[in-house]
Amino acid sequence: QKEVEQDPGPLSVPEGAIVSLNCTYSNSAFQYFMWYRQYSRKGPELLMYTYSSGNKEDGRFTAQVDKSSKYISLFIRDSQPSDSATYLCALGGGSARQLTFGSGTQLTVLP
Amino acid sequence: ETGVTQSPTHLIKTRGQQVTLRCSSQSGHNTVSWYQQALGQGPQFIFQYYREEENGRGNFPPRFSGLQFPNYSSELNVNALELDDSALYLCASSTTEQGVAFFGQGTRLTVV
């Protein structure tokens, strides 16, 4: 079993839809949670990060963490074609501060 | 604020050769990590450097090695290249106070 599981998609939605992206994890040692957006052939771009359970909102993006269920989500409201990318969840913890990534979900927002 | 920069952007090498990839950390960041991302996969942690010392290593063989310099820039060296080493190599910088990592654009390595 992988430490972090992420639905690979692909996911295709119409413009304006609400998108829900999810990851589950097995290691309780993870202490901080991030979402990255990666356009084709580019490096990952940090979207959201949080250190605790609950919701964190930034514009059209909401990150949700449920440590008791070991489940994290990213919601995108009013999705735009420019949101089309691969979304990666990343979890960290411990002294080395290495990140463990999900496999990524490929999202396409259709105009 | 200068972001993380990597060079070169693309590279083609022959199996058995050696390669060096370079990374300049974001201003104010003292920790650098390297990741390997195969096509269609999430990045895999190779190793991390802090104060010029290796500070954690993933499941990669010793032919993957690195350096961090006093100005916090870094190199990733890979010896005896194999076809499976073909991937996007990502450098990320961070501080010891925060776990948040900021990535460069990556170096796409193709081994033929």
Residue B2: its pLDDT value, please? 66
Query: What percent of chain A shows pLDDT beyond 70?
Result: 96
The residue of chain A with its CA nearest to that of B47 is A98
Residue of A97, A100, A101 to mutate for B, most B C-beta atoms under 10 A: A97
List pLDDT tens digits, range A52-104. Answer: 889 999 999 999 999 999 999 999 999 999 999 999 999 998 655 689 999 99
Q: Tokens 């058995």 — which residue? A: B16
Measured CA to CA, the distance from residue B108 to residue A69 in angstroms comes to 37
CA distances from A2 to A61, B43, B45 (A): 26, 14, 14
| Per-residue pLDDT at A94 | 62
Predicted confidence at residue A96, as pLDDT, reads 53
The mean of the pLDDT values for chain A is 92
Summarised one tens digit per residue, pLDDT across range B38-81 is 999 999 999 999 989 998 899 999 999 999 999 889 999 999 99
Question: Are A88 and B100 within 8 A, CB to CB?
Answer: no
Chain centroid to CA B92: 7
